[in-house]
Amino acid sequence: MRQSKLFGRTLREAPAEAQTPGHRLMLRAAIAKPLAAGLYTWLPLGFRVQKKVEQIIREEQDRIGAQEMEMPVLTPAETWKQTGRWDSLEPITFRTKDHNGREFMVSYTHEEFVHLHAMQELQSYRQMPAMVYHFQSKGRDEARPRAGLLRVREFVMKDAYSFDVDQAGLEKSYAAQFGAYEKSFARMGLDAISVESDTGAMGGDVAHEFQVLTEVGEDRIAVCTNCDYRANMEKATRSADRDGAQVAGKVAAPSEMRTPGATSIEELEASLKQPAEAFLKTLLLRDAKGTVVAVVLPGDREVNEAKLRKILGTSEVKFANDADFAAAGGVPGFIGPVGLKVRTLVDSSVDGRAYIAGANKKDLHLRDVVNDRDFKGERVDAHDIREGDLCPKCGKGHLQIKRGVEVGNIFAYGTYYSDKMNATFLAEDGTRKPFVGGSYGIGVGRAVQTIIETHHDDKGIVWPPQVAPYEVHVLALPVNDDAVRAKAEALVAELETRDIEVLYDDRDESAGVKFADADLLGIPLRVTVSKRNLKENAAELKLRSSSDSQMVPLDTAAERIAEIVASWPR
Q: Is 51 in the site for RNA (CB under 7 A)?
A: no
Question: Of 21, 169, 337, 443, which lies in the binding site for RNA, with binding defined by CB under 7 A?
Answer: 443
Q: How far is the CB of 513 from RNA (least distance, A)?
A: 4
Pairing state of beta strands 472-477 and 525-530?
A: parallel
Q: Is 249 in the site for RNA (CB under 7 A)?
A: no
Phi-psi sector, 568: left (phi>0), alpha (psi -120 to 50), beta: beta
Q: Which helix (H) or strand (E) holds 518?
A: helix 511-521
Q: Is 201 in the site for RNA (CB under 7 A)?
A: yes
Question: Of 42, 155, 229, 440, which lies in the binding site for RNA, with binding defined by CB under 7 A?
Answer: 155
Q: Are 242 and 480 in contact (CB under 8 A)?
A: no
Q: Is 218 in the site for RNA (CB under 7 A)?
A: yes
Binding mask 90-119 for RNA (x = CB under 7 A): -xx---------------------------
Q: Is 219 in the site for RNA (CB under 7 A)?
A: yes
Scanning 199-207, 272-280, 337-345, 348-356 for contacts with RNA by CB under 7 A, the matching segment is 199-207
- CA angle (328 as vertex; 322, 330 as ends), nearest 5: 70
Q: Is 477 in the site for RNA (CB under 7 A)?
A: yes
Question: Of 530, 552, 554, 564, which lies in the binding site for RNA, with binding defined by CB under 7 A?
Answer: 530
The rounded distance, in Å, linking the Cα atoms of 310 and 401 is: 21
Using CB under 7 A as the binding rule, the residues of this chain from 274 to 293 that contact RNA are none
Q: Is 543 in the site for RNA (CB under 7 A)?
A: no
Q: Is 209 in the site for RNA (CB under 7 A)?
A: yes
**CB nearer to RNA: pick between 278 and 541:** 541
The rounded distance, in Å, linking the Cα atoms of 470 and 467 is: 8
**CB nearer to RNA: pick between 36 and 323:** 36
> Among candidates 189, 361, 377, 177, which has minimal Cα distance to 297?
377
Phi-psi sector, 368: left (phi>0), alpha (psi -120 to 50), beta: left
The per-residue b/e assignment along 122-150, b for 16 or more CB within 10 angstroms, e otherwise, is beebeebbbbbbbbbebbbbeeebebbbb
- CA angle (84 as vertex; 82, 86 as ends), nearest 5: 95
Q: Is 213 in the site for RNA (CB under 7 A)?
A: no
Q: Is 309 in the site for RNA (CB under 7 A)?
A: yes
Q: How many helices (H) and strands (E) does the chain have?
A: 15, 31
Q: Is 516 in the site for RNA (CB under 7 A)?
A: yes
Q: Is 480 in the site for RNA (CB under 7 A)?
A: yes
Scanning 118-126, 179-187, 356-364, 528-536 for contacts with RNA by CB under 7 A, the matching segment is 528-536
The rounded distance, in Å, linking the Cα atoms of 372 and 355 is: 12
Scanning 49-57, 143-151, 373-381, 418-426 for contacts with RNA by CB under 7 A, the matching segment is 143-151
Q: Is 237 in the site for RNA (CB under 7 A)?
A: no
Question: Of 249, 260, 430, 512, which lies in the binding site for RNA, with binding defined by CB under 7 A?
Answer: 512
The rounded distance, in Å, linking the Cα atoms of 402 and 222 is: 6
Q: Is 3 in the site for RNA (CB under 7 A)?
A: no
> Among candidates 432, 438, 447, 457, which has minimal Cα distance to 545?
457
Q: Is 12 in the site for RNA (CB under 7 A)?
A: yes
Question: Of 446, 456, 473, 487, which lies in the binding site for RNA, with binding defined by CB under 7 A?
Answer: 446
Scanning 279-287, 315-323, 340-348, 464-472 for contacts with RNA by CB under 7 A, the matching segment is 315-323
Scanning 122-130, 267-275, 326-334, 513-521 for contacts with RNA by CB under 7 A, the matching segment is 513-521
Radius of gyration of the chain measured on its C-alpha atoms? 30
- Give the helix ranges, DSSP H, for 65-188: 77-83, 85-88, 111-121, 167-187
Scanning 54-62, 66-74, 149-157, 491-499 for contacts with RNA by CB under 7 A, the matching segment is 149-157
Q: How far is the CB of 426 from RNA (least distance, A)?
A: 33
Q: Is 553 in the site for RNA (CB under 7 A)?
A: no
Using CB under 7 A as the binding rule, the residues of this chain from 19 to 48 that contact RNA are 19, 28, 34, 36-38
**CB nearer to RNA: pick between 152 and 331:** 152
Q: How far is the CB of 343 from RNA (least distance, A)?
A: 19
Question: Of 513, 545, 560, 562, which lies in the binding site for RNA, with binding defined by CB under 7 A?
Answer: 513
Q: Are 192 and 211 in contact (CB under 8 A)?
A: yes
Q: How far is the CB of 372 from RNA (least distance, A)?
A: 29
The rounded distance, in Å, linking the Cα atoms of 136 and 69 is: 10
The per-residue b/e assignment along 46-57, b for 16 or more CB within 10 angstroms, e otherwise, is bbbbbebbbebb
**CB nearer to RNA: pick between 112 and 198:** 198
Q: Is 9 in the site for RNA (CB under 7 A)?
A: yes
Q: Is 317 in the site for RNA (CB under 7 A)?
A: yes
- CA angle (157 as vertex; 155, 161 as ends), nearest 5: 150
The rounded distance, in Å, linking the Cα atoms of 345 and 294 is: 6
- Give the helix ranges, DSSP H, for 372-507: 416-421, 444-454, 482-497
Q: Is 384 in the site for RNA (CB under 7 A)?
A: no
- CA angle (83 as vertex; 78, 84 as ends), nearest 5: 85
> Among candidates 385, 393, 431, 438, which has minimal Cα distance to 415?
438
**CB nearer to RNA: pick between 16 and 245:** 16
- Count residues near RNA (CB under 7 A): 68
The rounded distance, in Å, linking the Cα atoms of 325 and 382 is: 21
Q: How far is the CB of 89 from RNA (least distance, A)?
A: 8
Residues that bind RNA (CB under 7 A): 9-17, 19, 28, 34, 36-38, 91-92, 140, 142-147, 151-152, 155, 197-198, 200-202, 209, 218-219, 305-306, 309, 315-317, 406, 409, 443, 446, 459, 477-478, 480, 508, 510-513, 515-520, 528, 530-533, 540, 542, 549
